[in-house]
């Protein structure tokens, strides 16, 4: 994850702002996608505001629990640039003293904030859910979450390597949310799982839209870093957000869901036993199934939506039509 100084670097736009004459169906769809992207992505000034919220939370915790010596960090989509305007703010606090945070202590933390007593203990990592009264931002506060931190590093690097990844991921994430398929606690798909599906699809090209030198290293402070080179421009310009989003739906509408979804540069060990599940998307950093909570109804709705989206884009060339209600899952 980026530090306080790194985060203030303005993000590159995922497309060329110099307008060309819009003539072909692909140009028309690209133009529409750029406008939708600008309307749904969290602006840089609101990203800065969220980091100020994070600093306030760190201050409150350290004023009340000196023995933990907490360090707060923003992770998730706010950190790596895929956050929608109404997206939650994910904050992870790490104890620099080595003390472990139990569910009982979490209840005490929630009481300390006087914002919410809603502690999600059933999650793999217990979470305090609350709302910042000043900004009205929904916050998921967790403690000692190395996997989430690795994901932030992973996707930040991918955005640096492939400029198409950000706009494709944001628009598909918005589609998933609008169609009410984005809640893993209700049998839907998580943002991380969707991103890994996109990267699986990117590696299906020849040459792939994935850096061949993508790798994990430890820096001199023993922090995990994920590195990779930018994909050459001559490869990038062969594709556009419109062609990639259309291709994503065409690819997955016919997918054999009995097959695990992996990224070919991160093949799981031969001895790995994959527990049978309704749907399997392997996290390339841990080889765990990040879709094991997807229900039969969730997969059925996802398949239906993929087919619907493919048909609409191929016949009508209109992304807004994908977002229309009714949605397949109840609100």
Residues 57 and 116 grouped into a single domain: yes
Residues 122 and 208 grouped into a single domain: no
Question: Does residue 210 form part of some domain?
Answer: yes
Half-sphere exposure at residue 164, Cβ-oriented, CA atoms within 13 angstroms:
24
Question: Does residue 92 form part of some domain?
Answer: yes
The residue out of 115, 145, 175 marking a domain boundary is 145
The residue out of 145, 172, 201 marking a domain boundary is 145
* Helix or strand run (H / E) with residue 15: none
CATH number at residue 201: 1.10.1410.10
Residues 171 and 310 grouped into a single domain: yes
Residues 59 and 34 grouped into a single domain: no
Range of the domain at 57: 44-145
DSSP tag of 20: -
- Number of folded domains that form the chain: 2
Contact 263, 199 (CB under 8 A): yes
Residues 185 and 219 grouped into a single domain: yes
The residue out of 108, 124, 145 marking a domain boundary is 145
Contact 143, 152 (CB under 8 A): no
CATH number at residue 81: 3.30.460.10
Question: Does residue 105 form part of some domain?
Answer: yes
Residues 30 and 49 grouped into a single domain: no
Residues 167 and 189 grouped into a single domain: yes
Residues 129 and 202 grouped into a single domain: no
Residues 187 and 286 grouped into a single domain: yes
Q: Would you write out the chain's pLDDT as a tens digit for each of its 331 residues?
A: 444 444 444 456 665 555 556 689 999 999 999 999 999 999 999 999 999 999 988 988 888 888 888 999 998 899 999 999 999 999 998 888 877 777 677 777 777 776 443 444 344 456 788 888 888 899 988 887 777 778 888 999 999 999 999 999 999 999 999 999 988 767 789 999 999 999 999 999 999 999 988 877 766 655 667 888 899 999 999 999 999 999 999 999 999 999 999 998 887 777 788 888 899 999 998 889 999 889 999 999 999 999 999 999 999 999 999 998 776 665 5
Residues 291 and 195 grouped into a single domain: yes
Question: Does residue 9 form part of some domain?
Answer: no
Contact 175, 42 (CB under 8 A): no
Backbone φ, ψ for residue 328 (5° rounding): -75, -30
Contact 186, 274 (CB under 8 A): no
Q: Phi/psi zone of residue 180: left (φ > 0), alpha (ψ -120 to 50 degrees), beta?
A: left
Q: Phi/psi zone of residue 76: left (φ > 0), alpha (ψ -120 to 50 degrees), beta?
A: left
229 CA to centre of own chain: 21
Question: Does residue 16 form part of some domain?
Answer: no
Residues 59 and 156 grouped into a single domain: no
Residues 105 and 32 grouped into a single domain: no
Omega before residue 207 within 30° of 0, cis: yes
């Amino acid at each position: 994850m980026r530090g306080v100084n790194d985060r203030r670097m303005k993000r590159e736009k995922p497309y060329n702002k110099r307008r060309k004459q819009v003539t072909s169906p692909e140009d028309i769809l690209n133009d529409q996608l750029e406008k939708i992207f600008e309307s749904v992505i969290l602006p840089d000034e609101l990203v800065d505001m969220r980091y100020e919220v994070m600093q306030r939370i760190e201050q409150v915790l350290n004023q009340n629990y000196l023995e933990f010596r907490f360090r707060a960090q923003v992770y998730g989509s706010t950190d790596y640039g895929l956050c929608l305007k109404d997206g939650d703010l994910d904050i992870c606090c790490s104890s620099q003293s080595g003390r472990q945070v139990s569910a009982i202590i979490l209840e005490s933390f929630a009481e300390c904030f006087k914002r919410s007593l809603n502690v999600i203990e059933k999650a793999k990592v217990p979470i305090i859910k609350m709302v910042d009264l000043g900004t009205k931002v929904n916050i998921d506060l967790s403690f000692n979450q190395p996997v989430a931190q690795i994901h932030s590093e992973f996707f930040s690097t991918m955005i640096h390597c492939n400029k198409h990844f950000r706009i494709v991921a944001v628009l598909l994430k918005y589609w998933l949310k609008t169609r009410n398929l984005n809640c893993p606690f209700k049998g839907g798909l998580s943002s991380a799982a969707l991103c890994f599906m996109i990267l699986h699809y990117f590696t299906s090209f020849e040459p792939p839209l994935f850096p061949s030198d993508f790798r994990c290293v430890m820096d001199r402070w023993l922090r995990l870093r994920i590195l990779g080179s930018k994909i050459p421009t001559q490869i990038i310009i062969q594709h556009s957000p419109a062609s990639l989003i259309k291709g994503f739906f065409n690819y997955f509408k016919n997918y054999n869901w009995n097959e695990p979804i992996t990224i070919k540069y991160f093949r799981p060990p031969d001895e790995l036993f994959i527990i049978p599940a309704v749907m399997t998307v392997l996290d390339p950093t841990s080889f765990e199934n990040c879709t094991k909570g997807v229900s039969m109804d969730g997969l059925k709705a996802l398949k239906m939506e993929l087919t619907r989206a493919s048909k609409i884009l191929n016949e009508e060339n209109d992304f807004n039509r994908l977002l229309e209600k009714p949605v397949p899952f109840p609100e």
